[in-house]
Amino acid sequence: MAVIENRGELQWRALVRRKGFPTYSRTFERQRDAQGWATEVEAAIGRRDFAELRRLTASGKHLGGTLAELIEKYEDEVLPGRNQAYNEKARLARIKAALGKLPLTMLAPQDVARWRDARLKEGASLGTVRHDLNSLSKLLGHAISEWGVEGIRNVVRDVQKPEVPKGRDRRVSASELEYLLKAARHCPADRPEEAPARGLAPLIVLAVETSMRLGELIGLEWKHIDRKARTAHLPNTKNGEARTVALSTRAVNALKELEKTKRKDGHVFDWSRSDSVSHPFRRCLKRARALYEADCCAAPSAPESGFLADLRFHDLRHEATSRLFEKGLNPMEVASMTGHKSMQMLKRYTHVEAAKVAAKLG
């Protein structure tokens, strides 16, 4: 039964006792608010509505406020210690803009589903939307299990996620790579403002020769490169585990090219974030295609429509991984270079040319 006690000026405490349940209490400024709360708690107990009961009886500090407030707490306390925090922060910013005003106790699967559909309608890729939903799920899961936020649940579990898109199998031909590197060093005589970014050519070479991720490449420091052993140590990687990558002769030569203009802060490359490479790489692709078309015109021959088309920087990692297998490295050796933890994940990035396999068979 419910008991309402006057505990002084503007102090009304509601107590709800029911056999088999703990005693619930809360203090209010007005008697009618205390009575209303007690009535709701008793009704929730009667219906065995435990989610509503948790919501009603959680202390104010545990209710968590709005989703935006939860995101801000997460960004302050959790993200600083995580790898790839920049990417996750961008996803949380999208969530905050769309759903941030909602109180946590009112966040429903339908809200998330509508946001998912809106993201897809505005052109976001299936993979991007899945990443966004996973970030929201991690946020809510952390709030519940680590911070004890009461009265909420991980509603993302009740929302259908877009199907995982088929992994890309884009290979980079030797000719495409040749034009790409030429463009990375080429500056049109009549357009000096289009000079390629410093270090772009060595960056491309290292990507193809080492299979390192873009973030790992631009995070390279000279102190972690052993020229004698021909290795590069990566203390911070996407999966959180440090690894040491072997360097081919071409990779070592690419690093020697960068040594001529060493940075004072010890970093190998000028870029500080992965997304800052996107623009110079796209410009490089455009220049490479123009050089290719000019050569075709001089030949003369018709340019191939697919030459350098739909090429992304991450495809260089795909190409590098496939080349490692074609050079005869076993799966464990390849994994030590790429950092993949499972053969299933490694298989997604490996597209060995059948003709080269056939040559090995004799």
CATH assignment of the domain containing 327: 1.10.443.10
Domain boundary among 123, 158, 193: 158
| Annotation says 142 is catalytic | no
Domain stop point among 16, 39, 57: 57
Report if pTM > 0.75: no
Looking at the domain assignment, is residue 163 inside a domain?
no
Q: 278 and 346, same structural domain?
A: yes
Q: Are residues 182 and 139 in the same domain?
A: no
Catalytic residue among 96, 317, 318, 323: 317
**Closest among 61, 308, 277 to 176, alpha carbons compared:** 308
| Percent of the chain's residues with pLDDT above 70 | 88
Q: Are residues 240 and 353 in the same domain?
A: yes
* Domain-embedded: residue 255: yes
pLDDT score recorded for residue 180: 95
Of the listed 161, 170, 171, 314, which one is catalytic?
314
Which is the catalytic residue, given 55, 116, 287, 340?
340
> What pLDDT sits at residue 160?
93
Q: Which of 213, 289, 318, 323 is an active site residue?
A: 213
Contacts of 246 (CB under 8 A, 6+ apart): 210, 230, 231, 337
**Where is pLDDT greater, at 352 or 323?**
323
18 among known catalytic residues: no
Say if residue 38 is in the same domain as residue 150.
no
Euclidean distance between CA atoms 120 and 71, whole angstroms: 22
Instruction: Determine whether 279 is an active site residue.
Output: no
Work out the average pLDDT over 14-32. 85
- Catalytic member of 227, 238, 282, 286: 238
Among 14, 39, 57, which residue terminates a domain? 57
> Known catalytic residue: 213?
yes
User: Quick one: DSSP state of residue 79?
Assistant: G
CA–CA distance, 284 with 350 (Å, rounded to integer): 25
The whole domain housing 133 covers 67-158
Q: Tell me what pLDDT residue 152 has.
A: 80
Structure confidence at residue 230 as a pLDDT band (50, 70, 90): very high
Which burial class, exposed, middle or buried, applies to 30 when counting CB atoms under 10 A from its CB (0-12, 13-18, 19+)? Answer: exposed
Identity of residue 334: V
pLDDT at 278 over 70: yes
Active site residue 224: no
Structure confidence by residue, pLDDT tens digits, 308-336:
998 999 999 989 998 988 888 888 888 88
Q: Are residues 142 and 263 in the same domain?
A: no
pLDDT band at 182 (very low <50, low <70, confident <90, very high): very high
Model confidence pLDDT, tens digit, residues 40-57: 999 988 888 877 777 777
Mean pLDDT of 180-195: 74
C-alpha distances in Å from residue 337, one per residue of 135, 162, 174, 189, 243:
28, 31, 21, 39, 8
Q: Please report where in the chains the tokens 């959680």 appear, as a residue.
A: 58
DSSP string, 245-277: EE--HHHHHHHHHHHTT--TTSBSSS-SSGGGG
The strand pair at 24-28 and 243-246 is best described as unpaired
What one-letter code names the amino acid at 261?
T
Residues 234 and 266 in one domain: yes
**For range 337-343, the mean pLDDT:** 82
Higher pLDDT, 218 or 237: 218
In a shared domain, residues 105 and 208: no
pLDDT of residue 229: 92
Residue 167 resides in a domain: no
**Is 349 tagged catalytic?**
yes
Query: pLDDT at position 350, please?
Result: 56
* Residue 164 forms part of a structural domain: no
In a domain, 239, yes or no: yes
For residues 6 and 145, membership in a common domain is answered with no
- Predicted local distance difference test score (pLDDT) of residue 120: 93
Residue 117 in contact with residue 162, Cβ under 8 Å? no
